[in-house]
Structure 1
């Protein structure tokens, strides 16, 4: 099994600088410097919104401690990225690590419902809301808990403590020793985006469009790597085909199956591990994203008993 690796310091620093630079352009430079000369400059926000995907990938590296060898600096940069993203780093980190622990178990299987307790029709509204932006919006909405007293956190934790969600465990992770960090980051997020909306002024709808685009990109991609994969297999995830330039653009996040097997690997090492593992893709990225539109899947579906969706022997690795 590969040992833990880290991104090169120079490369990681440049990636973080690029991510924060893109964010600065979106939140302040365009509204304060360019939009006064014409609304047409607002179209520059469209390609910048697309950087939401690599932004999350860089944040994901810091969550796993693979961005920099210095853990303190790694986490500080992660917190800065989380503030720019719109949700406290400790929330994102704890939630993601719980995902690795409980993925495809009853606690964490987004699209699956139990036919004995629910139906497709009753599950679908919440599923599609989460798929088309709700996941990101829920992460952002967590900032409203910044000023909540600890006893309210504990009360909510007990109310949400059910065997089909990780929410209670997430609350435990934050309130254990990180509540002060969560509160500070949440306050900084509110201040950052209040300043951004002030900068946009009456053109604040443009910033709302940016956030809506970010919510859609983040939420739609989140479960594509796990949709309709085998249950009760936390290591189960798909490797999705992308052209090599796009694979680099998303920091090899499409090699998600390899990442779940070796979560300590930094993104530059995922391609080598993927090829050593056989170098076969499960699906194309676009196909995997699109098939989620089929909606919720019953837990007794035969699809959830197969660990691979197709004959991989006929699916060559693109070069």
Structure 2
């Protein structure tokens, strides 16, 4: 497979980043588990939350087939990256590609309140995103699928008459599993569990250290997952922001904040995304959007905000 220069995949760089970030994550897990002072534990937790976001960004590249130009390397790189989330590559790919399909359509307008919405459910989902509880849906859903794939067909999650299924996008997302390779996904989940066990043992982590690091990562990761869409245009490709953010953070997230450019050009590797950003368009800061989100979902405007 060949790519034009403007879309060339940085194969070696991605492999080096994955290896380096994986080692760093293990070192930081160890530090958070055994640091003699609380502030050292805190530093390790925060650092882990950023390093693991680098790994997640590499998983994101693999999901789109642009982590490595060799398909086998792309898939295995994605499986390793997924294990640090933790999730499974195919599991994440199904969810993420459904997101690209449904972005800013009625099933993915979590920032707006419609008259028919259940307000309690809307606010609960919203603040789960902001507090990091949203992250738990992936590892818990992964375990559920491993034990009982049929759970993804439950009426509460799939029925047209289920307010939960329709308002939370559960039905729209889980539809992607109807014809999914169940055996392959479950093997990948077992691989993820094996990698997590190895990470825990090799880093000499404690349960307290692991939970603190992943809780901090969950908040950091979740904070961006809807900040790059909130209040944006209601269009699958245009409905995202190219957010302004500190350059160091931007690089640690591998240009993930150039999210509108990504939705417009999902096959462009992270190193080239800036070439597709229109810097004359409004580019709100991440902090501005994130802080505005804490005020809660807004009533659906007659003319959606842009």
How high is the TM-score relative to the length of structure 2?
0.84
Whether the 8 Å contact between 1:83 and 1:189 is mirrored in structure 2 is yes
1:51 deviation in Å? 1.6
Whether the 8 Å contact between 2:238 and 2:263 is mirrored in structure 1 is yes
How has the CA–CA distance of structure 1 residues 76 and 157 changed in structure 2, closer, same or farther, with 3 Å as cutoff?
Answer: farther
Equivalent position of 2:90 in the other structure: 90
How has the CA–CA distance of structure 1 residues 24 and 61 changed in structure 2, closer, same or farther, with 3 Å as cutoff?
Answer: same
1:234 deviation in Å? 4.1
Equivalent position of 1:315 in the other structure: none
- Cα-to-partner distance string for 1:177-222 (whole Å, 9 max, x where unaligned): 4212221232333344456566788942121111110110111110
Equivalent position of 1:128 in the other structure: 127
Counterpart Cα distance in 2 of 1:270 and 1:235: 15
Whether the 8 Å contact between 2:255 and 2:273 is mirrored in structure 1 is yes
Between 88-97 and 170-179, report the one with greater CA deviation.
170-179
Counterpart Cα distance in 1 of 2:57 and 2:127: 23
Residue 181 of structure 1, aligned match among 181, 184, 198: 184
Residue 22 of structure 2, aligned match among 20, 24, 44: 20
1:106 deviation in Å? 1.3
Whether the 8 Å contact between 1:90 and 1:174 is mirrored in structure 2 is no
1:49 aligns with 2:49: yes
How many residue pairs were aligned? Answer: 297
How high is the TM-score relative to the length of structure 1?
0.81
Whether the 8 Å contact between 1:157 and 1:167 is mirrored in structure 2 is no
Q: What is the Cα-based RMSD across aligned positions, in Å?
A: 3.0
Between 178-187 and 262-271, report the one with greater CA deviation.
178-187
**1:1-319 → structure 2 map (5 Å cutoff):** 5-27=7-29, 29-30=30-31, 35=34, 38=36, 42=41, 43-119=43-119, 123-155=122-154, 159-160=158-159, 162-194=165-197, 203-274=206-277, 277-299=278-300, 301-302=301-302, 305-307=304-306
Equivalent position of 1:312 in the other structure: none
How has the CA–CA distance of structure 1 residues 188 and 146 changed in structure 2, closer, same or farther, with 3 Å as cutoff?
Answer: farther
Counterpart Cα distance in 2 of 1:148 and 1:204: 23
How has the CA–CA distance of structure 1 residues 229 and 82 changed in structure 2, closer, same or farther, with 3 Å as cutoff?
Answer: same
How has the CA–CA distance of structure 1 residues 149 and 265 changed in structure 2, closer, same or farther, with 3 Å as cutoff?
Answer: same
Whether the 8 Å contact between 1:102 and 1:234 is mirrored in structure 2 is no
How has the CA–CA distance of structure 1 residues 229 and 26 changed in structure 2, closer, same or farther, with 3 Å as cutoff?
Answer: same
Gaps of 5+ in 2: none
How has the CA–CA distance of structure 1 residues 265 and 232 changed in structure 2, closer, same or farther, with 3 Å as cutoff?
Answer: closer
How has the CA–CA distance of structure 1 residues 179 and 13 changed in structure 2, closer, same or farther, with 3 Å as cutoff?
Answer: same
Counterpart Cα distance in 1 of 2:220 and 2:51: 10
Whether the 8 Å contact between 2:62 and 2:74 is mirrored in structure 1 is yes
How has the CA–CA distance of structure 1 residues 21 and 279 changed in structure 2, closer, same or farther, with 3 Å as cutoff?
Answer: farther
Counterpart Cα distance in 2 of 1:49 and 1:281: 28
Gaps of 5+ in 1: 308-319
